[in-house]
Amino acid sequence: MLWVASLFASLGCNFDNGPLAAISYSCGTVSAPAATGAGAPNDCADIDAQLPPEPTLPADPADPTCILAAQQATTATSWIPDETNLDTARIQAALNACAVVKLVTSGVNNAFVAAHLTVTGKTLWIDAGVTLYASRNADLYQKTGSCGVLGINDSGACNDFLTVSGTSPAIVGDGIIDGQGGEPLIGHDYSWWQLSSALQEIDGSIGNPTLINLGTGTVGFLMYRITLHNAPKFHIKITSNPPGGTTAVCVPGQGFTVWGLTILTPSRWLNSQNLPLSPHAARNTDGVDPGEGNIATCGVIAHSTISTGDDHIALKGGHWVSNVIIAHNHFGTGHGMSIGSETYGVYTDANGPHYGVENVTVCDLTIDADSRPVGSGSSIEDSNGIRVKSDSSRGGHVNNVSFRDVCMRDVANVIMMSTAYNPLFTGTDFPQFSNLTFRNIRYQTCLTTGLPVVTLNGFNTAYPARNITLDNVIVDNIGAEGVEAEYVDNLTLGPGYVNFIPTGPGVTMTDSRVGAPAPTACSFPQLPAPTLPTGWLR
């Protein structure tokens, strides 16, 4: 339990003086997030006007064979399902035959276990009270022969748990999909996450199954109200576009909609072997990654809560990502609201070439590092707010991105615009960031003893970041040593107050600040979190 000890030590706790007193983490906390259909008071009214209506659940299937009842039970104290008779075949048969497949409880029975399901243009509905578990048998995901094999650097080793494709596929409901990433694999004494951690020192990429992966050509994907726990690797990789294709006029959400999603990883502090789990242990468990597999356009991610071990949301520009609205979301532990690190994508359609990541708005977001970057080997630097990241091995265009009404507390990197994300990687794909706006941004310190950092770096004099605006950006406890800037052409401060001045080599700046500081008023909702074992602090 070294990660717990490291946390207690950082808070000045003494293990020799009896039971530990509880710490009240109440700095700005309110009781709960707003309901999924309700907007928060902010200046995002123009964005709200563009959002689609909240989705709805479908009608129950008329054919009773499309409603599948659970055949086993799990409980809060006995959460590992039996894998003697998997539900893979009967779920897949229903998905092949039915437009909507609903998984429901049956008496005390509430669990399904499956491996490598395919959802093609259908709706998978996981009802309230139901948990769909991903099997822990690595052989059932085998792709190259090294899935589940310790120490193998093979990012393509495994098939995914849910592979989604076709027109208007959907995953909906008030139930849970649990990837069991922290539990030992069948026949082994290690978990998916331990496989990944074993490669961390060499920056290796394990081929663990993605929990949900969308295939190229997917149209109009919907994820609504579902909860995701403990993905072996990424939670969901989105490749999806509008029915009219990339040349159609974008109606937000017609490409993809993620609404009312909850991600909590890890969902427990101890696994079934009584080994401690932590966000740091859950390596590479990104929350929502549009563009990870192929292009993703005209999307909405709204009214969701995400706590995980890596990026909360990462817009991946290795192909092309465009016209995405990210609104009214709440983040807990994780590596931040990110763009990149891949930004080198080029996609050509009838309208010409498109590049990297463009036309993105993030509005009304809280980022709360209340779980801390705990765990053996963890670092406060992993706790991030807003990140735009790339390097010369995978760089390209990031253009026309706006971050508005963002509240953060206790993160280390408040804003990180980095063109040397991995300095060990080199190449000639140079990052080109332009037209980035940070408006109504507030960082607050509550419990952390670390100082906040703001980084605004272009690549060099030939490839500077261009047209960067900071407008009403207030970072509590910021000092000159916490601000780094270089190679930024046309950095504008204002008209809202900014309480720090980024200066450095290659930075040209216009100071248009007017008036005194008027920091955004922030409150942080109490987010879903694992239940603590008796006597533990978080």
Retrieve residue 126's tokens: 């996981």
Contact 27, 407 (CB under 8 A): no
Is residue 10 packed enough to be buried (19+ CB in 10 Å), middle (13-18) or exposed (0-12)? Answer: middle
d(CA 332, CA 80) in angstroms, rounded, equals 26
Determine the pLDDT at residue 95.
98
Determine the pLDDT at residue 32.
56
Q: Is the peptide bond before 495 cis (omega within 30 degrees of 0)?
A: yes
Active site residue 310: yes
**In degrees rounded to 5, what are phi and psi of residue 256?**
-160, 150
- pLDDT higher than threshold 50 for residue 23: no
* More reliable by pLDDT, 115 or 200: 115
Active site residue 303: no
d(CA 8, CA 374) in angstroms, rounded, equals 10
pLDDT tens digit sequence for 266-306:
999 999 999 989 898 899 999 999 999 999 999 999 999 99
Contact 309, 285 (CB under 8 A): yes
CA angle 193, 388, 27 (to 5 degrees): 75
Looking from the CA of 449 toward its CB, the CA atoms found within 13 Å total: 5
| Three-class DSSP category at 380 | helix
| Residue 33 pLDDT class (50, 70, 90 cuts) | low
Q: In residues, how long is the chain?
A: 538
pLDDT tens digit sequence for 235-278:
999 999 999 999 999 999 999 999 999 999 999 999 999 998 98
d(CA 402, CA 406) in angstroms, rounded, equals 11
Is residue 113 packed enough to be buried (19+ CB in 10 Å), middle (13-18) or exposed (0-12)? Answer: buried
Range 98-118 average pLDDT: 98
Neighbours of 47 (CB within 10 A): 24
Q: Which residue among 160, 286, 310, 391 is the active-site one?
A: 310
Determine the pLDDT at residue 383.
83
- The identity of residue 425, as a single letter, is F
The DSSP string of 73-126 is ---SS------SS-SHHHHHHHHHH-SEEEEE-BTTB-EEEESSEEEES-EEEE
Range 134-158 average pLDDT: 95
* More reliable by pLDDT, 56 or 22: 56
CA angle 242, 246, 251 (to 5 degrees): 45
Domains annotated for the chain, with CATH where assigned, are 2-63+169-177+215-525 (2.160.20)
pLDDT tens digit sequence for 332-362:
999 999 999 999 999 999 999 999 999 999 9
Range 191-201 average pLDDT: 90
Element (DSSP H or E) covering residue 195: helix 192-197
Sort strands 397-409 and 313-315 into parallel, antiparallel or unpaired: unpaired
Determine the pLDDT at residue 206.
84
pLDDT tens digit sequence for 407-463:
999 999 999 999 998 877 889 999 999 999 999 999 998 877 788 999 999 999 999
Distance set, CA 90 to CA 113, 115, 117, 129, 159 (Å): 11, 12, 10, 20, 19
% of the chain beyond a pLDDT of 90: 77
Determine the pLDDT at residue 309.
92
Range 199-221 average pLDDT: 90
Average pLDDT, the chain: 90
**In degrees rounded to 5, what are phi and psi of residue 36?**
-60, -25
- pLDDT higher than threshold 70 for residue 323: yes
Which is nearest to 447 in space by CA: 337, 517, 373, 527?
373
Retrieve residue 286's tokens: 């990104």
Neighbours of 129 (CB within 10 A): 16
| Residue 381 pLDDT class (50, 70, 90 cuts) | low
Range 477-497 average pLDDT: 96
Looking from the CA of 182 toward its CB, the CA atoms found within 13 Å total: 27
**Least confident segment among 50-64, 127-141, 355-369, 518-532:** 518-532
Range 172-196 average pLDDT: 97
- pLDDT higher than threshold 90 for residue 6: no
Range 170-197 average pLDDT: 97
Determine the pLDDT at residue 15.
29
| Residue 2 pLDDT class (50, 70, 90 cuts) | very low
Contact 338, 385 (CB under 8 A): no
* Residue 303 zone, left/alpha/beta (φ > 0; ψ -120 to 50; rest): left
> Which residues partner with 67 through β-bridges?
102
% of the chain beyond a pLDDT of 70: 90
pLDDT tens digit sequence for 384-407:
999 999 999 999 999 999 999 999
Range 128-134 average pLDDT: 98
Retrieve residue 262's tokens: 């909850």
Distance set, CA 331 to CA 195, 261, 306 (Å): 26, 12, 5
Q: Which residue among 335, 391, 397, 410 is the active-site one?
A: 335
- The identity of residue 315, as a single letter, is L
